Amino acid sequence: MSTPVTGAVAGPDGKPRCPWAVASEDYMAYHDEEWGREVRGDDAFFERLTLEAFQSGLSWITILRRREGFRAAFAGFKIAEVARFTDKDRERLLADAGIIRNRAKIDATLANARVLAQWEAGELERLIRSHAPTRRKGPGPRSLSEVPAITDESKALAKDLKKRGVRFVGPTTAYALMQACGLVDDHLADCWVRTTAPRA
């Protein structure tokens, strides 16, 4: 995100937030209610993995504003259902203005669902969680400059997923996935979510 590197910034309600969160209402809702909160279940992890892959090269706001379109297009991100998508479904997706009509990303999503459908229940969540870093001690990052884009853990996660056949996931996408799923907490030290909001 291109927000200037700084500490928390007051939103329209006066609450201090990570600077990127005050850029729009969509960002603010995502920041306050989801980002950094734990998710559970393979389908939920598949959704976050897919959306982070679609975000590659784009603004995250582009994904947020199409999220319901993505959910409708990809059967609520139920792995078993997406794994059964046919060539007709693929053509439907390529014509769907409610999502990002990127052929490579759509093909990767369908291929990933077919791979993940062969895994044991809970295996995707366990694999991703196995790469979670040790929780950092202290109050958290003081500015965006202290928030990494890639870590050793995200490199290892991306490598592990690729080795097992999951496509379109690199170290940056893997770290964004960790942030989105609450495996790391990168809310700034003075952000209200970190300091006062009830956490999952």
5 belongs to a structural domain = no
Domain membership flag for residue 24: no
Mean pLDDT of 5-27: 91
Asked whether the predicted pLDDT for residue 60 surpasses 60, the reply is yes
Mean pLDDT (whole number) for 34-48:
96
Q: Is residue 23 in some structural domain?
A: no
> Is 157 contained in some domain?
yes
CA dihedral of 93, 99, 100, 101, whole degrees rounded to 10: 20
**How many residues would you count in the chain?**
200
Q: Is 131 annotated as a binding residue?
A: no
Task: Please report the pLDDT score of residue 196 as a whole number.
Answer: 79
Distance of alpha carbon 49 from alpha carbon 55, whole angstroms: 10
Could you tell me which residues come within 8 angstroms of residue 134 by beta carbon, excluding any fewer than 6 positions away?
none
- Does residue 199 belong to any structural domain of this protein? no
CATH code for position 108: 1.10.340.30
For residues 77 and 12, what is the distance between their CA atoms, to the nearest angstrom? 33
Expressed as residue numbers, the domain containing 105 is 42-120+142-181
Sign of the alpha-carbon dihedral angle for 171, 173, 174, 178 = positive
pLDDT on residue 197: 55
Catalytic residues: 30, 52, 60
Q: Is residue 117 pLDDT above 80, yes or no?
A: yes
Residue 35, domain member (yes or no): no
- Rounded mean pLDDT, 156-182: 97
Instruction: Please write the tens of the pLDDT for every residue from 72-103.
Output: 999 999 999 999 999 999 999 999 999 999 99
DSSP, residue by residue, 114-161: HHHTTSPTTHHHHHHHHTPPPPPPSS--SSGGGS-S--HHHHHHHHHH
In a domain, 17, yes or no: no
Query: Which residue in the block uniquely carries the two structure tokens 């090269």?
Result: 57
Does 187 count as an annotated binding residue? yes
Reported pTM:
0.91
Domain count for the chain: 1
Three-state secondary-structure class, residue 22 = helix
- pLDDT at site 140: 87
**Average pLDDT of the residues of the chain:** 93
Helices then strands (H, E): number in the chain?
11, 2
DSSP H or E run through 17: strand 16-17
pLDDT at 191: 95
- The pLDDT assigned to 3 comes to 45
Question: What angle is formed at CA 156 by the lines to CA 199 and CA 31, rounded to 5 degrees?
Answer: 25
Question: How many CB atoms neighbour CB 58 within 10 A?
Answer: 12
**133-164 pLDDT, tens digit each:** 987 667 789 999 999 999 999 999 999 999 99
Residue 191 counted as an annotated binding residue: yes
Going by C-alpha positions, the residue among 63, 72, 55, 2 that lies closest to residue 30 is 63
113 belongs to a structural domain? yes
**Residue 181 marked as a ligand binder:** no
Check pLDDT > 50 for residue 193. yes
